[in-house]
């Protein structure tokens, strides 16, 4: 599996596809200057772009689509917001959808809470792109609140039932670690450790004091 992580502030974007030097690639949650993503393609085409919630960077998405001609994928409920931003939604996703990138299966998990259109993407049953739904280290104090904290709690409980060895690839990193697993997050992430809804809501209100070191580009 070819996966590259690109950091822009606390945001994380991903370029992925089959290993090697041929076959199409996809991007999850582009942020910042797209030239960094394009430099990692090994001259392979980026054919798909995925957004995991409505917390996207319009200019970054627009620039990447213009440079690649890729098709934009997002949850169907985000269509009005994307259209208002002048971004064409080519593929309207829903929970349970199964797609592929270069023969590798990508499964869509509906995880509403951050907003109605929040999703996670399970790649090859081994890597989980969690977007804003599950940031490493929990929420930072300046993180915008979820649109629906109760739904967010339910979505996180659903994720906690997946196999613990699945690699977590977050859309935002508020801890020093760049890699994690669901088992590690269950043990140490306050968003997953909350024993009940009330404790979860209290944790969301507090945020997380951890802050990552500055970084730009990191290999997976």
Tokens 């590259």 belong to which residue? 4
Which of the residues in the chain have pLDDT under 50?
Answer: 208-220
Predicted pLDDT of residue 111: 98
Predicted pLDDT of residue 218: 45
CA dihedral over 109, 217, 9, 201, signed as positive or negative: positive
Predicted pLDDT of residue 207: 59
Predicted pLDDT of residue 51: 98
Predicted pLDDT of residue 109: 98
* Residues present in the chain in total: 220
Predicted pLDDT of residue 220: 44
Predicted pLDDT of residue 96: 97
Domain map (residue ranges) of the chain: 2-209
As a 3-state breakdown, the chain gives helix, strand, coil percent values, each rounded to 5, of 25, 30, 45
What fold, for 2-209? Answer: Metallo-beta-lactamase; Chain A (3.60.15)
Predicted pLDDT of residue 193: 86
CB 28 within 8 A of CB 123: no
Instruction: Kindly report the pTM of this predicted structure.
Output: 0.91
């Amino acid at each position: 599996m070819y996966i590259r992580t690109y950091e822009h502030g606390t945001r994380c974007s991903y370029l992925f596809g089959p290993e090697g030097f041929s076959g199409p690639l996809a991007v999850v949650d582009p942020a910042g200057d797209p030239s960094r993503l394009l430099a990692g393609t090994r001259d392979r085409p980026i054919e798909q772009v995925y957004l995991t919630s409505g917390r996207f960077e319009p200019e970054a998405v627009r620039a990447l689509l213009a440079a690649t001609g890729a098709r934009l994928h997002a949850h169907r409920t985000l269509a009005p917001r994307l259209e208002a931003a002048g971004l064409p939604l080519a593929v309207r996703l829903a929970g349970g959808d199964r797609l592929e990138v270069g023969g590798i299966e990508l499964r869509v998990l509906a995880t509403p809470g951050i907003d109605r259109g929040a999703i996670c993407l399970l790649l090859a049953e081994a890597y989980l792109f969690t977007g804003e739904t599950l940031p490493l280290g929990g929420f930072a104090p300046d993180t915008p609140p979820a649109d629906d904290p109760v739904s967010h709690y339910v979505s996180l409980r659903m994720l906690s039932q997946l196999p613990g060895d699945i690699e977590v690839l977050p859309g935002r990193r508020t801890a020093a670690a760049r890699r994690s697993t669901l088992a590690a997050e269950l043990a140490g992430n306050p968003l997953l450790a909350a024993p009940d809804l009330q404790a979860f809501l209290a944790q969301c209100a507090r945020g997380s004091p951890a802050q990552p070191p500055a970084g730009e580009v990191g290999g997976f």
